[in-house]
Amino acid sequence: DAKTTQPNSMESNEEEPVHLPCNHSTISGTDYIHWYRQLPSQGPEYVIHGLTSNVNNRMASLAIAEDRKSSTLILHRATLRDAAVYYCILSLLRTGGFKTIFGAGTRLFVKA
């Protein structure tokens, strides 16, 4: 079955880039890769998603390996407000319906 693996925690300095890795070696060809982040006592917040090509938006960039077995979320300049738990998620459409596979998340600490 599909799964994602992320480091438990990472630390960054403010205004430096952050690269958050995710391994999803069991991904299938039509599975989308999503990233969400979650602050304490809040619901997850969408960050970015993609299928095969690298993606950029105002929040972050998503770099997807050529074999799609891993991906990296890139925050170009970390701020204190970026401190959160970041979830790498596979989004699947299978016989029987739609599934989402959440990893355990990476807690990002940002130092001033």
Partner 1 sequence: DAGITQSPRHKVTETGTPVTLRCHQTENHRYMYWYRQDPGHGLRLIHYSYGVKDTDKGEVSDGYSVSRSKTEDFLLTLESATSSQTSVYFCAISARAGYDEKLFFGSGTQLSVL
Neighbours of 24 (CB within 10 A): 24
Residue 105 has which token pair? Answer: 């998340």
With CA atoms as reference, report the closest residue to 86 among 71, 99, 96. 71
Q: Is 53 in the site for partner 1 (CB under 8 A)?
A: no
Residue whose CB is less far from partner 1, 10 or 102: 102
Which residue among 19, 77, 99, 111 contacts partner 1 (CB under 8 A)?
A: 99
* Interface pick for partner 1 out of 64, 82, 86, 105 (rule CB under 8 A): 105
Strands (E), the chain: 9-13, 18-23, 32-38, 45-50, 55-56, 61-64, 70-75, 84-94, 97-102, 106-111
Q: By C-beta, is 65 or 93 nearer to partner 1?
A: 93
Q: Of 41 and 112, which has the nearer Cβ to partner 1?
A: 41
Site string for partner 1, 8-47 (x = CB under 8 A): -----------------------xx---x----xxxxxx-
**Rounded-to-integer distance, Cα 11 and Cα 86, Å:** 12
* Residues in contact with partner 1 by the rule CB under 8 A: 31-32, 36, 41-46, 49, 51, 87, 89, 91-93, 96-100, 102-105
